């Protein structure tokens, strides 16, 4: 697939990894849909920047944890640009608690956004992809899906679920020439990482063989690779963690 002229919908794109993916797509000529939930100002600033670089871009507010809003996101994107070529499921939240302190509400909220949200958007985009007989879906999972993490039962479960969703969707969509893959970042320099204590950040870096955390741009380039050069890659997960976890 060529990114030039392709319509790319990115959930949770106002900041962090999603922001970097939107910039990467725009720099390579894609038409970009920047989805956001609360960060309207950041989303609009991103779209303004993309447009200044001759990229067609729009913002669409939607909570992908709500199936009706997730469907509206996809339908408005198709109405605006006439098609959808790439769906990047990046939207996610974390509410970290130990098992003792994790409430049912905390569990449900993270699962609903991080896992169900990916299903809702894929379900909404399904008919468009099969009618076009082409497309790519990239689901942002996490290294935590493999390793687990103390205090992240809900987050780890959701990200692991995304891997199963990715593989099963890949099997169903392959006959329509639609690839479905996941990207599993380790520690990335985002607001989530920067919110950690200095001691926790130092401990994390010491566990990374390459000696540093990753950048959102490095994740974005991996997403671009799967879209542009991943014609024969589907149902896979690409690990980006500096060697911290090797399968």
- Give per-residue pLDDT as tens, 90-130: 999 999 999 999 999 999 999 999 999 999 999 999 999 99
Q: Sorting pLDDT into bands at 50, 70 and 90, what band is 72?
A: very high
Spot the catalytic one: 36, 155, 225, 245: 155
What's the confidence (pLDDT) of residue 14?
A: 95
Q: Is the CATH number of domain 7-236 3.40.50.720? A: yes
Which residue has 């449900």 as its token pair? 108
- Which position has the higher pLDDT, 196 or 202? 202
What's the confidence (pLDDT) of residue 18?
A: 97
What's the confidence (pLDDT) of residue 194?
A: 79
Q: How many CA atoms lie within 13 A of 154 on its CB side?
A: 24
Show the CA angle centred on residue 31, arms to residues 27 and 81, nearest 5°. Answer: 175
Show the CA angle centred on residue 32, arms to residues 29 and 38, nearest 5°. Answer: 150
Whether 36 is catalytic: no
For the chain, percent of residues with pLDDT exceeding 90:
92
What's the confidence (pLDDT) of residue 47?
A: 97
- Contact (Cβ atoms closer than 8 angstroms) between residue 191 and residue 150: no
What's the confidence (pLDDT) of residue 197?
A: 84
């Amino acid at each position: 697939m060529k990114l030039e002229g392709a319509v790319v919908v990115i959930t949770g794109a106002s900041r962090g990894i999603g922001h970097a993916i939107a910039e990467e797509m725009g720099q390579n000529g894609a038409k970009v849909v920047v989805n956001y939930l609360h960060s309207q100002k950041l989303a609009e600033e991103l779209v303004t920047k993309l447009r200044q670089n001759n990229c067609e871009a729009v913002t669409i507010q939607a909570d992908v944890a709500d199936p009706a809003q997730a469907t509206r996101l996809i339908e408005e994107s198709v109405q605006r640009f006439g098609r959808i070529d790439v769906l990047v499921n990046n939207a996610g939240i974390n509410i970290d608690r130990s098992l003792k302190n994790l409430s049912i509400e905390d569990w449900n909220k993270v699962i609903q956004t991080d896992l169900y949200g990916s299903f809702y958007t894929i379900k909404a985009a399904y008919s468009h992809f099969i009618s076009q007989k082409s497309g790519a879906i990239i689901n942002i999972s996490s290294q935590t899906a493999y390793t687990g993490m103390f205090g992240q039962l809900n987050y780890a479960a959701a990200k692991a679920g995304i891997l199963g969703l990715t593989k099963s969707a890949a099997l169903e969509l392959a006959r329509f020439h639609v690839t479905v893959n996941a990207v599993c970042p380790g520690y990335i320099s985002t607001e989530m990482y920067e919110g950690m204590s200095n001691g926790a950040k130092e401990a994390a870096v010491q566990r990374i063989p390459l000696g540093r955390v990753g950048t959102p741009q490095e994740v974005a380039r991996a997403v671009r690779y799967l879209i542009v050069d991943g014609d024969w890659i589907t149902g896979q997960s690409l690990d980006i963690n500096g060697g911290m976890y090797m399968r």
